[in-house]
Amino acid sequence: MGRSRGKKKGSEEFEPREVDDFDGGKAGRKKRRRSEFVDDVAEEEEEEEREYRAGKRRRSKRKSGLQYLDWEAVVDDDEEEDQEDEEGFDDDFIENGSADILDKDDAIQTHRSFLVDSEDDEEEDIEALEKRVQERYGKRDLELDEEPTEVEQQALLPTIRDPKLWRVTCVNGHEREVAFCLMQKSIDEGSQLQIRSAVALDHIKNYIYVEADKEAHVKEACKGLCKINSKQIMLVPLKEMTDVLSVKTKAVHLSRGAWVRMRNGMYKGELAKVVDIDNVRQKVTVKLFPSNNLRALGDGVSKKNDFHITPRSKDGFLLKEVSFRSVNACSVHPTIDELEKFLHSSHIEDGDMANLLSLSTNRKKAQFFKGDRVIVVKGDLKNLKGWVEKVEEDNIHVKPDVGYHLDYLVMSPKELCKYFEPGNHVKIICGAAEGTTGFVASVEGHLVNIISDTTKELLQVFADHVMEISEAASGVDQIEDFELHNLVQLDDSSFGVIIHIENESFQASFMIWCKVLKGIPGKAVVEIVKLGNIRCKLDGIKYQTKDQLNHQLSVNDLVKVVEGVWRGRTGKILHIYKGNLFIYDHHHLENAGFMCAKSQSCILLAGGSRATNNWNGENTSSCSRVHLSQQRSSRGCSSMNARGRYGVQQERDALIGAFIKIREGVYKGHKGRVKNIKGKNVQVELEAQMRVVLGKFFDELSNLLF
């Protein structure tokens, strides 16, 4: 701990000064009153001055250690010294017991005399001073020059003979206060208080540490302090004593040019590049592109000023010096957008590759799998292509494509990069677009351009984040119950088709959202909706609707839009809802090929089997309506078959307009016609009562009798 030692040292060091001034001790005291009068002229008379000084000195020494504190604090900046001074200061208090309170004048004089004292000393016994200084600081300089060796450090470790350290519980948030209380107590009680020191650490809540020989001493000291729970005193084991007061610094591996993320402050989450590192001051200079500039500006006028004074380098980057702790160096995955920002702003035309290479040094160890196609990016074998044969911890066995008689080459993952050729079907396995599949359109070094299967958009990702797949999964197309292209209800009045699903991971918080094309005919209103805001899926609900020429329309029919903004477009009906059609046209890229139109503004093209049937005069059984009529004519016997042949959806579809009898509930026995089906609810127009009732029947279909 060195604290008790420090104390001893401290008191020793005070000795010479005292002795130095002691020469005229008692005489000085006697003459003191006189010297007070001649105070101003005293400087001329050396002897008198000496006497006066000595007297003053003694007095002040006895009165308080205030001057020491004052002076030492100015001189010293070393931690150890500070500690010593503190101890010395404490000692004074303890020695003097109840200190007289200095009146103001006295205090000023004391101070002044001390000033004079030092000036005189300089002239008079400068050698003594030098010696003193040497004594005091010489040793420390040496220590500074040479790093303390391991053995020396070991010698400083506490032993069983040293006072022990006790952990004392106190009220949360009052740690410092308690420590001060103990200090005050030690001033008041002096040597009666047998604890050596007390320390409150900022990073340790609820506890303070007290250095004492015995537990009883701690208990005694804590007596009467209401913020301390003196029952909960614990001995800190010898081995752990050093840990209490040593501050562990996490090993931060930062290197110039590395990518980091800001951990806090205005630029939290921003990507930054390390420009300079100051290990001594634990500071790092980062270059960042303040993209949330505007947002912060919008936050308030007060912040505005900050922006005017922010220093910028030429390229528009913000250079900022921050402490090691406020940057996050591990697991930083810069996105392409962020990197591009850096690239654009620094106006490096041919810097792309350099930048990407620097990135590759920072990159996460790429995951290679057996069978991956790889290319060597470093070393003699650069540009050699091959297949991954075997993956070991740090080595990857690569079977080269050409020429070599070797079975395989052993490479480190850093020398390799995944290799893709245009046309490969791949899946993105990392980053924002995770799960998306697509074709490789082109490859630029570490970057791969991918054409997404679902949106036909171009995505730029790192080769490391891509994996070749054979299956044609269409990317993220399902979240919980909802799938891409599902018709969903948003609120009471609005509905739409999911045209895009994305799960976005930002700062470890996942957000799943999807784009929904709202069902407003003739308009393309796309809304970004969070998963929670989707009320329900509107599947299995089929409305009867007719086109402009009064032809029946059903899902999968081919229609042509003849009115409105989409005029001239043709497409397949994917959903029908309340007289609106959601038409899918693969030639039409915006909104993922979807458009919403009124059924009245469309005409049916040839296509669905249904259409031809209608024209042929409803002569086949594929029309549900016709089927129903058949059912009605031969009620009972065929209904089971019908149910078996068609899915529930078609069953529901068929039910609209059907003549039913209610089997259970209030309206038991009533006959009626099905008006509408919404989810699990059926609207039934009762025959007898001239009203429409809503029933929940669909779970128990058997409740319905045709």
Partner 1 sequence: MFFHIVLERNMQLHPRHFGRDLRDKLVSKLMKDVEGTCSGRHGFVVAITGIESVGKGLIRDGTGFVTFPVKYLCVVFRPFKGEILEAVVTMVNKMGFFAEAGPVQIFVSNHLIPDDMEFQSGDVPNYTTSDGSVKIQKDSEVRLKIIGTRVDATEIFCIGTIKDDFLGVISDPGSTS
137 DSSP 8-state letter: I
β-sheet bridge partners, residue 513: 502, 530
Give whole-number Cα distances, 523 to 127, 456, 520, 528, 596, in Å: 95, 22, 6, 16, 7
- Contact track, partner 1, 467-486, x by CB under 8 A: -----x--------------
Among 645, 668, 678, 680, binds partner 1 (CB under 8 A): 645
Among 199, 252, 332, 451, binds partner 1 (CB under 8 A): 451
Distance, CA of 56 to CA of 75 (rounded, Å): 22
3-state secondary structure of 409: strand
β-strand pairing of 197-199 with 271-278: unpaired
Q: Residue 662 in contact with residue 696, Cβ under 8 Å?
A: no
Does 637 engage in binding with partner 1 (CB under 8 A)?
no
Does 631 engage in binding with partner 1 (CB under 8 A)?
no
Does 165 engage in binding with partner 1 (CB under 8 A)?
no
Residue burial 525-536, b: 16+ Cβ < 10 Å; e: rest: ebeebeeeebee
Distance, CA of 37 to CA of 30 (rounded, Å): 13
Q: For residue 107, what are its two tokens? A: 């205090």
Does 214 engage in binding with partner 1 (CB under 8 A)?
no
Does 533 engage in binding with partner 1 (CB under 8 A)?
no
Does 332 engage in binding with partner 1 (CB under 8 A)?
no
Does 403 engage in binding with partner 1 (CB under 8 A)?
no
Does 618 engage in binding with partner 1 (CB under 8 A)?
no
Does 552 engage in binding with partner 1 (CB under 8 A)?
no
State which residue, 98 or 621, has the beta carbon closest to partner 1: 621
Q: For residue 630, what are its two tokens? A: 């058949």
State which residue, 155 or 565, has the beta carbon closest to partner 1: 565
Does 264 engage in binding with partner 1 (CB under 8 A)?
no
Does 441 engage in binding with partner 1 (CB under 8 A)?
yes
**Segments in 64-124 forming alpha helices (H):** 66-75, 79-96, 104-123
Stretch that binds partner 1, among 60-68, 248-256, 527-535, 586-594 (CB under 8 A): 586-594
State which residue, 20 or 352, has the beta carbon closest to partner 1: 352
H or E element, residue 377: none
Distance, CA of 120 to CA of 53 (rounded, Å): 11
Stretch that binds partner 1, among 124-132, 265-273, 581-589, 592-600 (CB under 8 A): 581-589
Does 449 engage in binding with partner 1 (CB under 8 A)?
yes
Among 457, 468, 539, 563, binds partner 1 (CB under 8 A): 457
Q: Minimum distance from CB of 612 to partner 1 (Å)?
A: 9
Distance, CA of 521 to CA of 597 (rounded, Å): 4
Q: Residue 422 in contact with residue 442, Cβ under 8 Å?
A: yes
State which residue, 458 or 520, has the beta carbon closest to partner 1: 458
Distance, CA of 271 to CA of 342 (rounded, Å): 10
Among 140, 176, 281, 456, binds partner 1 (CB under 8 A): 456
> What residue type is assigned to position 627 of the chain?
H
Does 641 engage in binding with partner 1 (CB under 8 A)?
yes
Does 586 engage in binding with partner 1 (CB under 8 A)?
yes
- Using CB atoms within 10 Å of the CB of residue 85, give its burial: 0 to 12 exposed, 13 to 18 middle, 19+ buried: buried
DSSP string, 260-273: EEE-SSTTTT-EEE
Stretch that binds partner 1, among 9-17, 259-267, 370-378, 437-445 (CB under 8 A): 437-445
Does 587 engage in binding with partner 1 (CB under 8 A)?
yes
Does 606 engage in binding with partner 1 (CB under 8 A)?
no
Q: Residue 362 in contact with residue 256, Cβ under 8 Å?
A: no
8-67: contacts with partner 1 (CB under 8 A): none
H or E element, residue 404: none
H or E element, residue 179: helix 175-189
State which residue, 425 or 546, has the beta carbon closest to partner 1: 425
Does 568 engage in binding with partner 1 (CB under 8 A)?
no
Does 439 engage in binding with partner 1 (CB under 8 A)?
yes
Q: Minimum distance from CB of 523 to partner 1 (Å)?
A: 21
Does 442 engage in binding with partner 1 (CB under 8 A)?
yes
Q: Which residues bind partner 1 (CB under 8 A)?
A: 421-425, 439-442, 449, 451, 453, 456-458, 472, 586-587, 589, 609, 620-621, 641, 644-645
